[in-house]
Amino acid sequence: MYRIAIYGKGGIGKSTVTTAISCALSQKGYRVLQVGCDPKADSTLYLHGGERMTSILDILKKKKDLATLDDLVEEGYNGILCAESGGPVPGLGCAGRGIAAAFEALDEREAFSILKPDIVLYDVLGDVVCGGFAMPIREGYADQVYIVTSGENMAIYAAANIATAVANFRERGYATLGGVILNRRNVPDEKEKVETLCQDIQSKIVADLPRDNHIADAEEQKKPVMGLFPDCPYAQAVRGLADYIIQNGVDREDEE
């Protein structure tokens, strides 16, 4: 089982990239579980025809211990297993604790040993601001972290912060940095800027994803771009990224 966490600045395209990787891997025959780790619960939106699935925390709030694994995980496009941690209403509660609670709920129901995914992808909100947002890279969850960034300065700063957090957590047995995914916004000297970032954080660009209007077209039709436009430049680049992730991943059995 390969376990990957995708981090990056808010709005940089993490959910689009994660969903595209899920689609590419499922099209190659892998059984994929995509876990959205964001109170907005919209990571898997286009795997469900643009319909939001009910989040784990909303289900737990309603059904408590009676919630089953089937309640928490739904099948979406091309058999991809989807789960959304969800979280509190904006401005209240504790989103980080929410992610931890959602992960514990999946653990208690032995999600990995029952669902037996080949690949688990965690799509994590913005920055590692507290313990809850580090959950996906703690021991027993993701083994590798990929950071999505463009050449915009704020995205690069966020990427550097995330890389620092990953490096700081290394002594705890956390995940390691797998690489940087360049999601182009077509700003000047974009690749050079991201390459400089990679030198600073001792990593490398593992995929160069072009800005592609097919993504917006697919979202308009509420479908994943990989399904609707499989030959577009973005889809081709993501397939290369998916291959890279598998070839450089850690295939580890679930501990429990």
Partner 1 sequence: MSELHVNVFAMTYTADVSGVCSTMYELGGMTVLHDPSGCNSTYTTHDEPRWYNTKSLMYISGLDEMTAIMGDDSVLVRDVKKAAEDLSPRFITLCGSAIPHLIAFDYKGTAHLIEKATGIPVIPVATDGLKLYTSGIGLALREWMKRFADFSLPHEKDTVNLLGVTPIDFSRMEIVEEMKKALEERGFTVNCCAAMGDSFEKLQEICKASVNLVVSSAGMQPAKMLSAKAGIPFVVGTPIGAAFTDQVAQCLREAQADGKSRYAYDASRFQEKEEGEVLVVGEKCASCSLAQAVDGALGREAAFVLSPDVRDGLDEDALVEKMKKADIVIGDPLLRYGIRDPHTKFIALPHEGYSGRIYRKQIPVFTGDAFDVVTFLEGGRPGGSA
Q: Which residues contact partner 1 by CB under 8 A?
A: 65, 94, 96-97, 99-100, 130-132, 134-135, 138-140, 169, 171-174
Strand partners, 34: 82, 121
Task: For residue 122, give the nearest of 148, 84, 95, 87 by alpha carbon.
Answer: 84
Our answer to whether residue 65 is catalytic in this structure is no
Task: List the alpha helices (DSSP H) in the chain.
Answer: 14-27, 56-63, 69-72, 95-108, 111-115, 131-134, 153-168, 190-201, 214-220, 225-228, 233-247
Q: Which is nearer to partner 1, 78 or 161 (CB)?
A: 161
Least CB distance from residue 100 to partner 1, whole Å? 4
Least CB distance from residue 90 to partner 1, whole Å? 19
Least CB distance from residue 169 to partner 1, whole Å? 7
Q: Which is nearer to partner 1, 175 or 206 (CB)?
A: 175
Inter-residue contact 98 to 88 (CB < 8 Å): yes
Least CB distance from residue 252 to partner 1, whole Å? 15
Our answer to whether residue 42 is catalytic in this structure is no
Our answer to whether residue 58 is catalytic in this structure is no
Using the structure block, give the residue that is written with the tokens 């050449």: 151
Pick the catalytic residue: 40, 42, 71, 118? Answer: 40
CA distance 77 to 47: 5
Q: Which is nearer to partner 1, 8 or 132 (CB)?
A: 132
Q: Which is nearer to partner 1, 109 or 193 (CB)?
A: 109
Our answer to whether residue 127 is catalytic in this structure is yes
Pick the catalytic residue: 127, 208, 217, 243? Answer: 127
Report the 10 Å Cβ neighbour count for 199.
9
- Supply the residues annotated as catalytic: 9, 14, 40, 127
